[in-house]
């Protein structure tokens, strides 16, 4: 289950479909291999929160969100920063996004 939050307030959450990255084909490295697009169709955000996001967009040109949660398929915890950019169009990348990282859970036997 992944959660999307703004300033510590969870705005949305949802499951992640299982996927596989074949690191053998990538030469033992999966860095920078995948892009995931999440859509918030039908989400409801309180007006106060909308106002905060809008104010950040106007002041800085972008609003920062956190994405985190457990990914069973990767055996760890994922954390990312992502942004909403002012004037961003459908499928239009305005700036390189910061990387995500997965912290693997230790195997205790």
pLDDT in tens, 1-13: 888 899 999 988 8
Rg (CA), the chain: 16
The model scores a pTM over 0.85: no
CA 64 to chain centroid: 10
pLDDT computed for residue 34 by the predictor: 59
pLDDT in tens, 60-109: 988 888 888 887 766 778 888 888 876 655 444 445 556 676 676 666 55
Say if residues 1 and 70 touch (Cβ distance below 8 Å).
Answer: yes
pLDDT computed for residue 93 by the predictor: 45
The candidate with the shortest Cα–Cα distance to 97, out of 65, 69, 53, 70, is 65
**Alpha-carbon distance 32 to 54, whole Å?**
30
pLDDT in tens, 11-66: 888 877 666 666 666 565 555 555 566 666 667 788 999 999 999 999 998 888 88
pLDDT computed for residue 6 by the predictor: 93
């Amino acid at each position: 289950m992944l959660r999307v939050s703004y300033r510590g307030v969870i705005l949305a959450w949802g499951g992640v479909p299982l996927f596989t990255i074949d690191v053998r084909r990538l030469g033992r490295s999966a860095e920078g291999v995948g892009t995931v697009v999440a859509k918030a169709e039908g989400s409801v955000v309180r007006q106060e929160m909308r106002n905060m996001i809008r104010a950040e967009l106007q002041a800085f040109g972008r609003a920062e969100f956190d994405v985190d949660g457990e990914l069973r398929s990767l055996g760890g915890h994922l954390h990312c920063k992502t942004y909403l950019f002012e004037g961003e169009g459908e499928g239009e990348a305005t700036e390189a996004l910061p990387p995500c990282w997965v912290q693997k859970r230790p195997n205790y036997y």
